[in-house]
Amino acid sequence: MSRIQGWQTGVLVLAGLVVAGCSSSTTGTPTAAEHTSNQTSTAASRSASSPSAGAGPSLAPRVANPKNLRGQDACQLLTPQQQAELTFTKPGEKGTSIFGESECDWSNDNLRIYLALDTKRRGLEETYLRKERFPDFTPSTVAGYPAVRTGLNVRLKSCRVDLGVADDQVLYISFSHHSAGRNPEYEDPCGFAEKVGKMVLDNLPPTR
């Protein structure tokens, strides 16, 4: 169950990749109140009815130089120096995402960044298989790696980016800008989320 509180709209964004009947174009993380162990079990059981992995040619671009997210601690994906550059003075808050893998949430008066690993399914293909559920589905690249902008909210200055680090591994990056922030980069929330993705890629080992 996630320990992250407050991003209530995020339950639909991430759960939409697990349960075919759910979708959202906003960004964030599940709340503990909304995700009981029973709901998580239900989502997991429904995921078995999703399109199977060999149902046809891949929709998502292939990853030319795959990196390895498996077994990583999401809160260690950014170095202390990178966290300081992003204006964080406290460690990220660890949690377990609805995918049963590591997640981390950093927040201060300026911004909020959330990272979640998904290494047990089909990588970025999961996003492409449900592209119609994201009104703002926009393919992108981050340092040569395929990505999709799926959660842009101009009014809230927030964005989610799904970053394919290997053909079967994806990193979800959510960014939101608080009113106290004055960095011009915050005005492009998707671009800033991709900047964070580039930082993570620099730290990841290659897949062996």
Tell me, yes or no, whether 93 lies in a domain. Answer: yes
Tell me, yes or no, whether 143 lies in a domain. Answer: yes
Tell me, yes or no, whether 56 lies in a domain. Answer: no
Tell me, yes or no, whether 104 lies in a domain. Answer: yes
- The predicted-structure confidence for 43-84, as pLDDT tens digits, reads as follows 333 333 344 444 456 899 999 999 999 999 999 999 999 999
**How many domains does the chain contain in total?**
1
Distance CA 158, CA 151 (A): 7
109: tokens are: 């008066």
**In the chain, how long is the greatest CA-to-CA distance?**
47
- The predicted-structure confidence for 80-102, as pLDDT tens digits, reads as follows 999 999 999 999 999 999 889 99
pLDDT classification of 181: cutoffs 50, 70, 90: low
Phi-psi region of 125 (alpha: psi -120 to 50; beta: other; left: phi over 0): alpha
Tell me, yes or no, whether 16 lies in a domain. Answer: no
Entry pTM: 0.74
Tell me, yes or no, whether 35 lies in a domain. Answer: no
pLDDT classification of 207: cutoffs 50, 70, 90: confident
User: What residue numbers bound the domain in which 181 lies?
Assistant: 68-203
Tell me, yes or no, whether 189 lies in a domain. Answer: yes
User: ∠ CA(13), CA(17), CA(20), 5° rounding?
Assistant: 105
CATH number of the CATH domain containing 198? 3.40.1000
- The predicted-structure confidence for 125-180, as pLDDT tens digits, reads as follows 999 999 999 888 999 999 999 999 998 887 778 999 999 999 999 999 999 987 76
Which CA distances in Å does 79 have to 4, 76, 86, 195? Answer: 21, 7, 11, 14
Closest CA to 25 of 166, 135, 125: 135
